[in-house]
Amino acid sequence: MKKQNKAAPQGAPMGAPHGRPKLKTRVLKRLLGMLIKFYPVLVPMTAVCILFTAIASAIPAVFLQKVTELIENWQSIAAEQKLPMAEAWRMASAEIVPHILFLAGMYAVSLVTITLDTQLTAYITQGFLCKMRREMFERMQNLPIKYFDTHKHGDIMSYYTNDIDTLRQLVAQSIPTMIRASIVVLSVFFIMLYYSIWLTLLLLVGVLFMFLVTKKIGGGSAKYFLRLQKSVASLEGYVQEMMNGQKVVKVFCHEKQSIEDFDKINEGLFQESYRANANANMLGPILMNIGNVMYVIVAMVGGLILVTNTPNVSLSGLAFGVDIIVPFLSMTKQFTGNINQVSQQVNSIVMGMAGAERIFELMDQVPEVDDGYVTLVNAEIDPDGTVRESETHTGKWAWKHPHSADGSVTYTPLRGDVRMTEVDFAYTEGKTVLHDVTLYAEPGQKVAFVGATGAGKTTITNLINRFYDIADGKIRYDGININKIRKSDLRRSLGIVLQETNLFAGTVMDNIRYGNLDATDEECIRAAKLAGADDFISRLPKGYETELSNNGANLSQGQRQLIAIARAAVADPPVMILDEATSSIDTRTEAIVQRGMDALMKGRTVFVIAHRLSTVRNSDVIMVLDHGRIIERGDHQRLIEQKGQYYQLYTGAFELE
């Protein structure tokens, strides 16, 4: 009975919420929490500036009421005492000027706080996005290979472009506007209650109507904005796919179909964008006109109350007069205008929340599990076999194995002994790819895997690297269960040349040094010569300092593969994995590379995956796989003598399927 070692499912968001309202609240709280965590001093400072600016914008209504009241009083006094209007104004101005100076002072301070607010908001916004991108990228680097195998790369790119941009609008515009407008609305509301409860209640009826309109139209546009986010991600994914496969498109004359497919996605984006923006653009004018209607109604009702001498009901106890109506009309415009501003931010907030939700979804992906505690260290090995850890680079390595039971530490020399025992594996649960695979590779052996596409060759090497964790069985490296080895140390002991070559922006030297960042120029050149790449590199315009871009598009596929082989060579690992390493190299170049590869493989454990059976003839062991099972094993001569499937493959009597 095998011991089960089921891996936890990867890629699901942690703490998935139940229900969209809770999710949105959680997203908003988390977003604000991160803002405060990143800027614990600047965010409160900005909030104080917004608060002061908002309150200062409500002060003119009080000022207008006071000034109107003073003017009315002095007009009455002038009429009673039959004073010239110039004299009455001179006497009134003595009381009005202090109010004007106070208001000017408030505006001066408000100007400072507005300037400070805008500068702080710009700094916080861009800094927040910078930190978010950095945190996203750091989290992404810790995700398992499975995540990138199961998600479109264009969709992942959309996190860093479209979704981040929605956060910019949310943090820089929507949240400050919401806070500022809400404070103004509350301030003005209490001032209006102070002056006249009748007119305030009348205004609230109009506000209720504005709320219903916002809910109806804004809710509809929010739905389309959410769809818009997904449509943008789909379009970006398709464009990236077409850019990567442009040569294939042209070779098969697929341009017309590609354009038609693009038009369908683009038309879908247009429809979602049109519906979202049509609803959003409709909301502003409707609310503005509701505000204008309320202004007229308040003016008419206020005049009616004044004419009919209806008693005023207010918190101030002031009698109803022109000094109440004039500032109240100003506050009506201010009140409805700020509610309109709040309503206008609904769509930006919805988009921002949708973008934040997608970003947090990425950040909450279950990271690659690494519970290993055995590490790789520089070692000194005495003639009697005693192994000690060295603080300097010795060229020899050992596994440092701490034992929690007694606190002791043991060292195992790094030899490159790899063994798989009764391994089962499935990329998708219920669809087993490898069945009961058992194999071993002793130090210095060259083990080759041959078989049809999809037989499980690359899967075996993925398991040795722990790109995926096995479902059942054991994999041991120098006698140590690889689950106990820290992944970074495990992978540092392995050199791999993949079938698909990836070169990065930078010089040829930089790309070779990628295998060992501490390597000198001389070591990189030596590795290139070993791989057979030095000849063509020397003929490049700037030799090893030639700049590469776009995955080395200015090089041939074979040249790119040679650089990848040199990159693995400079790492100087005890175990090499060559996954179709010479698949993109012509036969003549292959002969040159093979000599370098033979020198590179000397004294190392090597796993070779190849469709060209001529490249595996000199392997110590050849494993023939079929549908995830090893059906034949042995050296070339022995397998030829057995006249089984390998014999049929080698002689051309059997086609790879």
14 confidence band (pLDDT: 50, 70, 90): very low
DSSP string across 159-178: IIIIIHHHHHHIIIIIHHHH
More confident residue, 647 or 221: 647
- Averaged over 588-610, what is the pLDDT? 74
Residue 1 has pLDDT above 50, yes or no: no
Reduce the DSSP state of residue 375 to 3 states and report it: strand
Render pLDDT for 26-50 as a digit per residue (tens, 0 to 9): 888 899 999 999 999 999 999 998 8
When mean pLDDT is compared across 116-125, 540-549, 601-610, 639-648, the lowest value belongs to 601-610
Asked, colleague to colleague, whether 20-220+282-363 and 418-651 share their fold, the answer is no
Q: State residue 585's pLDDT score.
A: 64
Residue 267 has pLDDT above 70, yes or no: yes
State the average pLDDT for the chain. 81
User: Which residues, 6 or more positions from 522, have their beta carbon under 8 angstroms from its beta carbon?
Assistant: none
DSSP strand pairing (446-451 vs 621-626): parallel
- Averaged over 404-429, what is the pLDDT? 89
User: Which residues, 6 or more positions from 196, have their beta carbon under 8 angstroms from its beta carbon?
Assistant: 312, 313, 314, 320, 324, 328
C-alpha–C-alpha distance, residues 220 and 240, integer Å: 31
**Contact (CB, 8 A) for 527 and 570:** yes
Q: Which two tokens stand for residue 305?
A: 């109350």
Residue 25 has pLDDT above 90, yes or no: no
Full-prediction pTM beyond 0.75?
Answer: no
Q: State residue 355's pLDDT score.
A: 85
* Percent of the chain residues topping a pLDDT of 90: 15
Render pLDDT for 506-548 as a digit per residue (tens, 0 to 9): 899 999 998 888 889 999 999 898 888 888 999 998 999 999 8
Residue 657 has pLDDT above 60, yes or no: no
Q: State residue 509's pLDDT score.
A: 93
Helices in 572-654 by DSSP H: which ranges? 587-601, 636-642, 645-651
Helices in 478-538 by DSSP H: which ranges? 487-492, 508-513, 521-531, 534-538
When mean pLDDT is compared across 464-473, 560-569, 598-607, the lowest value belongs to 598-607
When mean pLDDT is compared across 201-215, 357-371, 430-444, the lowest value belongs to 201-215
Compute the chain's Rg from CA coordinates.
Answer: 37
652 confidence band (pLDDT: 50, 70, 90): low
Q: What is the dihedral angle through the alpha carbons of 173, 179, 184, 185, rounded to the nearest 10 degrees?
A: 110
- CATH no. of 418-651: 3.40.50.300
More confident residue, 409 or 385: 409
444 confidence band (pLDDT: 50, 70, 90): confident
**Contact (CB, 8 A) for 159 and 359:** yes
80 confidence band (pLDDT: 50, 70, 90): low
Backbone φ and ψ of 344, nearest 5°: -65, -20
- Averaged over 162-181, what is the pLDDT? 87
C-alpha–C-alpha distance, residues 353 and 359, integer Å: 10
Domain map (residue ranges) of the chain: 20-220+282-363, 375-413, 418-651
- CATH no. of 20-220+282-363: 1.20.1560.10
Render pLDDT for 461-504 as a digit per residue (tens, 0 to 9): 889 988 888 888 999 999 999 999 999 899 888 888 877 778 88
Q: State residue 9's pLDDT score.
A: 37
Q: Which residue has the tokens 């690659």?
A: 368
Q: Which residue has the tokens 């003839």?
A: 617
**Contact (CB, 8 A) for 441 and 611:** no
- Averaged over 254-261, what is the pLDDT? 82
